[in-house]
A and B are shown apart, each in its own frame.
Chain A
Amino acid sequence: MPKSTIKTDLTITIAGVEFATPVWTASGTAGVGEEIESWCDPKRLGAMVTKSVSLQPRPGHPYPRTVETTGGMLNAIGLQNKGIEAFITDELPRLRRMPTRVVVNIVGDDQDEYVQLAKRLSDEAGIDLLELNLSCPNVARGIDQGSDPMWVGECTAKVRAATRIPLIVKLTPNTNDIASLARAAADHGADAISAINTLVGMAVNHNTFKPRLANVTGGLSGPAIKPVALAAVYKIARAVKIPVIGIGGIMSGTDAAEFLLVGAQAVQVGTATFRHPDAAIRVAEELRDYMQEHQIARVGDLVGRLTL
């Protein structure tokens, strides 16, 4: 029997901010807006999430920085960016004018740097949310600070005290207990959690005996990590009350729907954008088709609907 056509509503609200769709770009995969804007109508993006910006400019790692792997890719870009001041003068004015929500992703070497970044951005208009990239190993101290719940809690609390912009805390999957990282962030004032960042991985050229990335190891992303990401989002959504934004290997509308079913309120599309510049818009349209097929009117009605 043919199903009736229903009116579908993709809007969602996170931390009091309304988004046209729950499908956003992911940090580091859509630049700072300029490039992606020529390929996608920003009005149809849920949000534009910027490449991580740091206090000082970072040159990034040497080439080769990426390698294609089975079902995904490794990257070791090294957070190349022009630093916060150049970001504010060169990029923010255009981002502000983009008819979409703007999420600025920030990264620091220590807690103080996150605080300084948040303070500096608080003076600027047009930023809807901040996303703290707490998923980067602190090479200097030799520990992965983002996988320590205490550190995550402290950092979140300090940034919370420094700004009124709503905060998303982005978590690393390189831990054995992502739920406690999420709890630490939620307990210290995060408005939402996003997960996952990339998984540590490596590729070797067996002919030359050399690593395929100049940085030796890198971060794995793409379809290969979707199962890991789904499990992470599932665990986080059961551990915290604040919204969860699912990331990892989303290539299609049904992939996005799976993340919503396990408890995400929104998703970010990363690696898929390299294949199709307008991937986030395609995913949103396919999600709409999926809702139509399942006769689900409001996208929020999918959230956490997993049947055990």
Chain B
Amino acid sequence: MKQPAPAGKLRARTATLVSTRQVGPNILQQRFAEPVIARRTQAGQFVHLLPGPDLLFRRAFSVYATDPKQGTFDILYQVLGKGTGALARQPAGTAIDALGPLGNRFTPLPADCTPILVAGGLGMAPLRLFAEELLSGTSRRQESPRPIMLLGNRRKSQAVVPFGLSSKTLDVRWATDDGSRGFRGTVVDLLSAMIVAGDVTPGKAHVYGCGPEPMLAALAVLCANQRIPCELSLERSMPCGFGVCMGCVVRGRDTSGYETYHRVCRDGPVFNAASIAF
């Protein structure tokens, strides 16, 4: 359990929009200057941004990259509706009200395990930051096996290349539903094929997943059957983002196995797959 911060110690911060880059169809990478978020964020955590003064609620985004030296952090998102639309239109220099970093992080794993990062679409965002942590040794020892990253998309045109990672240190494999890039099928099918082919040894692997819920549910089943420890990062509509509204829930089990609703914003967004009832 996370200890709550001392009274009045957390506060909203002003993140200044530095740049907006289109990296795919309707997909943007935005960089913000805010040194505290840049320094404190750990892989899996998110920021809750107020996209503009006319919006009632904030929008949640996983932190995609950080540069603690420059004091910046990046997000990667698809322009969908009012909130993301407003954020997309903001010019560089705009001050954005930001809460963060919020939520928990992916758990670093034992040194002899191969981390397998399984991303569906933009679920890649928090996993990219985790890959970077793994590669830089902050989440694991340097001599550990090379991390594997599986990236799934519908088709090639939607595939976003993870920003700033080197394929020398990271084993990146692609999957598309139509086979236009890499393996034909879902990322979960790809992982399954890799297990069958002996590329992955279940007892020596740790899976981390983020993406659409049906994909995560399939991933949870595969990992449970293969007895591979698995952590998943979930998404919910989040009115508050800091645990007070009880809106962002997912059905799951508590430590004694009883059914309960977890708050994704505060008990997660990263959960042990076994504690979620899909």
Measuring CB to CB, which residues of chain A are less than 8 angstroms from any residue of chain B? 28-31, 34-42, 51, 59-60, 62-68, 71-73, 75, 77, 80, 98, 222-223, 271, 273-278
Contact = CB atoms under 8 A, between A and B. Distances in A.
B242 interface: yes
Contacts of B12: 276-278
A98 B236 CA distance: 31
Nearest to A39: B10
A38 B57 CA distance: 20
Given A39-B242, A274-B239, A277-B12, 5 more contacts: A38-B10, A39-B8, A41-B8, A63-B251, A66-B237
Contact of A59 (B4, B236, B240, B261): B261
B217 interface: no
Contact of B245 (A64, A77, A278): A77
Instruction: Return the 8 tightest CB-CB contacts between A and B, nearest first.
Output: A41-B8, A66-B247, A35-B243, A38-B5, A31-B244, A274-B240, A274-B239, A38-B10
A43 to B, nearest CB: 8
A275 B56 contact: yes
Contact of A275 (B5, B11, B58, B237): B58
B6 interface: yes
Interface residues of B, number: 33
30 contacts: A28-B245, A29-B244, A35-B243, A37-B4, A38-B4, A38-B5, A38-B6, A38-B242, A39-B10, A42-B7, A60-B249, A65-B246, A65-B247, A66-B239, A66-B247, A68-B56, A68-B237, A73-B239, A75-B245, A77-B246, A80-B249, A271-B56, A273-B240, A274-B58, A274-B239, A276-B12, A277-B99, A277-B240, A277-B242, A277-B244
A306 B50 CA distance: 35
Interface in B19-61: 50, 56-58
Nearest to B250: A63
B245 A29 contact: yes
Nearest to B8: A41
Contacts of A271: 56
B184 interface: no
A35 B266 contact: yes
A51 to B, nearest CB: 8
Contacts of A276: 12, 97
A111 B260 CA distance: 27
A65 B243 contact: no
Given A59-B261, A65-B249, A73 B10 contact: no
Contacts of A273: 240, 244
A226 to B, nearest CB: 13
Contacts of B97: 276
A200 B242 CA distance: 26
B178 interface: no
B259 interface: yes
Nearest to A224: B56
Q: Name the residue among B8, B9, B259, B260 with the largest chain A CB count within 10 angstroms.
A: B8
A30 B50 CA distance: 19
B57 A275 contact: yes
A65 B243 CA distance: 14
Q: Name the residue among A38, A51, A67, A222 with the largest chain B CB count within 10 angstroms.
A: A38
B103 to A, nearest CB: 12
A63 B242 contact: no
Contacts of B11: 39, 278
Contacts of B99: 277
Interface in B225-245: 236-237, 239-240, 242-245
Q: Name the residue among B7, B9, B251 with the largest chain A CB count within 10 angstroms.
A: B7
Interface in B250-277: 250-251, 259-261, 266
Nearest to A79: B246
A80 B261 contact: yes
A36 B244 contact: yes
A39 B4 CA distance: 10
Given A35-B266, A37-B7, A60 B261 contact: yes
Contacts of B247: 65-66, 75, 77
A35 B4 contact: yes
Contacts of A65: 246-247, 249
A292 B56 CA distance: 28
Contacts of A222: 56
A41 B7 contact: yes
A65 B259 CA distance: 17
Q: Name the residue among A71, A72, A274, A276 with the largest chain B CB count within 10 angstroms.
A: A274
A63 B249 CA distance: 6
Interface in B78-113: 97, 99
Contacts of A37: 4, 7-8
B9 to A, nearest CB: 6
A56 to B, nearest CB: 14
Contacts of B58: 274-275
A68 B57 contact: yes
A17 to B, nearest CB: 22
Given A59-B259, A80-B261, A67 B237 contact: yes
A71 B56 CA distance: 7
A229 to B, nearest CB: 16
